[in-house]
Amino acid sequence: MRALVTGAAGFIGTNFVRQTLARKREGIDRLVALDLLTYAGNYANLTGLESDPRFRFVRGDVADRDRVAALVAEEAIDVIVHCAAETHVDRSIVDGAPFLVTNVHGTLALLEAVRGRPGFRCFLHVSTDEVYGSVAEGRSTESAPLRPSSPYAASKAAADGFVFAYAATYGVPAVITRCSNNYGPYQFPEKLIPLFVTNALDGESLPLYGDGMNVRDWLHVEDHAEALWHVLGLRAAPGEVFNISAENEMPNRALTEQILRLLDRPANLVRYVADRPGHDRRYALDPGKLRATGWRPQVSFADGLARTVAWYRERRAWWEAIKSGTYRDYYDRMYSGRLAGSSAAPREPGV
Ligand code: NAD
Ligand code: TDX
């Protein structure tokens, strides 16, 4: 198997690549890592892998059609795990344009590169639970309608649409996975868990949006990586979709309390701030279809969160390097106004 992993220097890509090469998976002859190294990509995450003869890192843009097509041909790629994306909802609310380019044009460029390619086995498109929108009750199955709320989610839903279209129109062997919120090592500290852990370690405020009762469904990134390999092994029909969830639903407020307990930090670090516009109240995936094929998550949330918190505590140099320079500007832009108007007590829903 000759695999191309896009977004390999990001959070999920890094964990997927490291786990794949460390386990010496049968059948991996080549792993080409493609990443543009945007603000979210960090080449240092892949340190140490260069000595593995199966591994090659390429800096490049997934939306660059010619580059992507040439790479796929040159490396005789037969499997693609497509993780590259613009991924932060709050940034997409400020400007959706980079999300359209990378998430939609990028996915299209990859699909074009494999269309009609003899011997090509699988294009695995890593999508998200956010395409289903907020789920008031029950759990989204793979056939639930797509109702994206944020520009980010809209771009992912559009990319899913191109995957369906290429499967139906050209028979491209492409499948979609939709996972819930991942957590674990190497996550960029703009996302809730690494942001709150690193802020708490520095004694800084933890800005909880709205009333802090939005519910997310947490999946350890190692379980996610295993699930991706499991899906690749299924040889599913073109256009199949698989939800990936460990069914670990939790309101943000309860998660924040757990983080503070693990770090032995005071509850008064929490500040309730103005809500995210269009903030989905709850995500909940039904993973029954994948489970019926034998996949099971292995990491309990208590153990996974404790290990994750310990990882950031022990890797101060990793996140301090990120939380400087342009990150500080981003943080001020996103949070200084919000924190100035914050309160110690929860707000009413939607306030
Ligand atoms: P991330 O932001 O940590 O990493 C994204 C990576 O993509 C970065 O390394 C970045 O440099 C790279 N990239 C961005 N634009 C690129 C471009 N034009 N060309 C090449 N590389 C580019 O994101 P993540 O959390 O690792 O997410 C990976 C995938 O999983 C995304 O498709 C995301 O939508 C999906 N997803 C993530 C989560 C989650 O909780 N993290 C949940 C559901 C789905
Ligand atoms: O400062 C914050 N305060 C806060 O209350 C941040 C950054 C987040 N939140 C809330 C918003 C969400 O309810 O925490 C929850 C999680 O927020 P994020 O970490 O931004 O993740 P989310 O918006 O749920 O999206 C994530 O999961 C699905 C990823 O960023 C997406 O890429 C993925 O598709």
Give the residue, by CA position, lying nearest to ligand 2 atom 21: 191
> pLDDT tens across 93-111, in order?
999 999 999 999 999 999 9
Residue 349 has pLDDT above 70, yes or no: no
Q: Are 123 and 114 in contact (CB under 8 A)?
A: yes
Residue whose Cα lies nearest atom 15 of ligand 1: it is 85
Q: Taking the domains of the chain in order of start, what are their residue ranges?
A: 2-183+218-244
Architecture of domain 2-183+218-244: 3-Layer(aba) Sandwich (3.40)
* Element spanning 116, H or E: none
Cα(128)–Cα(246) distance, rounded to whole angstroms?
14
Predicted TM-score (pTM) of the model is 0.98
Looking at the CA of 211, which ligand is closest? 2
pLDDT one-digit tens code per residue, 111-146: 999 999 999 999 999 999 999 999 999 999 999 999
**In the prediction, which pLDDT does 347 show?**
64
pLDDT attached to residue 27: 85
Nearest listed ligand to the Cα of residue 124? 1
pLDDT tens readout for residues 50-66: 999 999 999 999 999 99
CA–chain centroid gap for 162, Å, is 19
Question: Are residues 219 and 193 in contact, defined by beta-carbon separation less than 8 angstroms?
Answer: no
Q: In a mutational test of the pocket of ligand 1, which residue from 6, 11, 89, 90 has the highest number of ligand atoms less than 8 Å from its CB?
A: 11
